[in-house]
Amino acid sequence: MMSKKLKSSLWNMFKHSPTLRPILEKVLPTRFAKPKVCEHSRVDYKSLSKLAHKQMEVLAVLSEQVLLMEKEKEVIRKAYCKELDKLKADNVELKYRLEVIRHAH
């Protein structure tokens, strides 16, 4: 049986992320409690249950953050589209003025 290489912790993987770091600080404890092991070297149900609930909590918070970022992106996109439409209208007006000036001379 081959042993799987463990990934580094979430803290280490995302320590420089301005988006994920606050979420991890909010949801995850600084140190996890060591899972209880029964006499058969298996993790007990309560430890697995706590871990599953924590994972679901992290997923929920990350999903909320992604949704918030998507909304912010949409607001920015709409603002840029509005500005671009304004610039296009100004461009058309300036082209029209240029044509008028050309025909006048």
Residue 47, domain member (yes or no): yes
pLDDT tens track for 44-90: 788 888 888 888 888 888 888 888 889 999 999 999 999 999 999 99
Residue 1: inside a domain, yes or no? no
**Rounded (10°) CA dihedral 95, 97, 100, 105:** -100
Residue 5 lies in a domain: no
In a domain, 16, yes or no: yes
Tokens representing 37? 């092991």
Residue 28 in any domain: the answer is yes
User: What pLDDT, on a 0 to 100 scale, did the predictor assign at position 30?
Assistant: 62
Q: How many domains does the chain have?
A: 1
Q: What is the pTM of this model?
A: 0.51
Which pair of structure tokens corresponds to residue 81?
């589209």
Question: CA-to-CA distance for 66 and 63, rounded, in angstroms?
Answer: 5
The boundaries of the domain holding residue 86 are 10-104
From CA 91, how far away is CA 105, in angstroms rounded?
A: 21
